[in-house]
Amino acid sequence: MRSAALLLALLALLAVLPAAAAAAPDAPDAPRGGGAPPTLTAEATDGPLTARLSVTPARPAPGTPVDLVIVAAVAADVGADPTVAVAWPDVLGALTTALGEDVVEVESARVAADGRSFVARLRFYDEGAHALPPLPVRVTRGGERLAEVSLEGVTLQIDVDVPADAEPAPARDALPLVVPPPPVPWTLLGAAALMLAAIVVAVFLWRRRARAAAPPPPPVAAHEKALAALRSLAARALPEHGEVEPYFVALSEILRSYLEDRFGLRAPEQTTEEFLAEVSQTAAGRRAIEGAHRDVLREFLTRADLVKFARARPAEDECAAAGRSAEQFVTDTADIAPSATDADGRAHARERTGTAPRAPETAS
């Protein structure tokens, strides 16, 4: 039952996950500063590399600082390799060659600590439109080129009407370019989960069928049960501790239970006189126990009554002899084939007590 509940819970979870993934809202865009000046951007992608260029402000005044930021995003499976590196463009050389040193000045240029962004501070001195030259960004692995893009198509308008003290927005060198993760293979995951569930159900059904098909253990023979009880009683060494009466009570109970289980004689329900009379005078009793065995049984039960009711105290060797006599009696009568009358007697005894056959109890 517990395995079935776990299986249902697993199937329910697998049914909910794809729906939850499909219903998840897209992440909101980062808020834009209300007073931030406009930014010029360019973006390019080549295989695992995506680079973005941003220039702020888009319409600076002559001599106003301009921030140029390049952010490189490398696919996770490639970027995890420690030999992968980003090669940044020579901004100083490219700008001065394309525009001239009297038009543009590169005050500073640096690579951010994460190695994935590049920031330069520029100043333009001539008004008008100035197109930035192409800026190449490469990704290498172990020194060999892996991917390369060219960031181009950005033109700044230097406008004398813009106040000279206007400052650009802070450089966003710490903001990485977000690359969406690869799609989750829900179909494959669902198929794998269903296959796993089928295997679990098959194993569960096979184990339950194997347990149901296993035959019950054979019943223990009456004489084997009695001999085991006699050996257990002997191991307790009650006579050695002065407990003679409990020893004989347990010994008598074992033997009476054996006679009931083996021959259907209601020994535990009768007094010694009633039981011996049944053994000697009834056809079932005579057929179950032969004459020599009846004499041994009479002697044993009489001695046990003397200990229980007349307070007789036999020596330790006599107690040991009584135990051996009981064991010999069980061994000698174990091979006697019970008749149909004996089986009827056992069934009748169980109907009188209302219980199934039981193992003999020993006194403690």
How high is the pLDDT of residue 275? 74
Instruction: Tell me how far apart the 2 most distant CA atoms of the chain are, in Å.
Output: 140
**Segment 219-267, tens digit of pLDDT:** 888 889 989 998 998 999 888 988 888 888 898 889 888 888 877 776 6
Residue 35 has pLDDT above 80, yes or no: no
d(CA 184, CA 163): 51
**Segment 125-134, tens digit of pLDDT:** 888 888 999 9
Give 199-254 as a DSSP string: HHHHHHHHHHHHHHHSPPPPPPPHHHHHHHHHHHHHHH-TGGGT-HHHHHHHHHHH
**Segment 323-358, tens digit of pLDDT:** 888 888 888 877 765 554 444 444 444 444 444 444
Write the CA distances from 259 to 9, 58, 170, 174, 262, integer angstroms.
57, 112, 104, 95, 5
**Average pLDDT taken over every residue of the chain:** 76
Tokens describing residue 215: 């035959």
CA 87: distance to chain centroid?
47
Instruction: Give the H or E element holding residue 45.
Output: strand 40-46
How high is the pLDDT of residue 340? 47
* Partners of 147 in the β-ladder: 139
CB 359 within 8 A of CB 250: no
User: Quick check: pTM over 0.75?
Assistant: no
How high is the pLDDT of residue 171? 44
For residue 245, the tally of other CB atoms under 10 A from its CB is: 17
Q: For residues 179 and 37, which has the higher predicted lDDT (pLDDT)?
A: 37
CATH number of 40-158: 2.60.40
Residue 146 has pLDDT above 60, yes or no: yes
How high is the pLDDT of residue 347? 47
Task: Give the start-to-end residue ranges of the domains of the chain.
Answer: 40-158, 222-353
Q: Report the chain's C-alpha Rg in angstroms.
A: 51
**Segment 99-126, tens digit of pLDDT:** 888 889 988 999 988 888 999 998 988 8
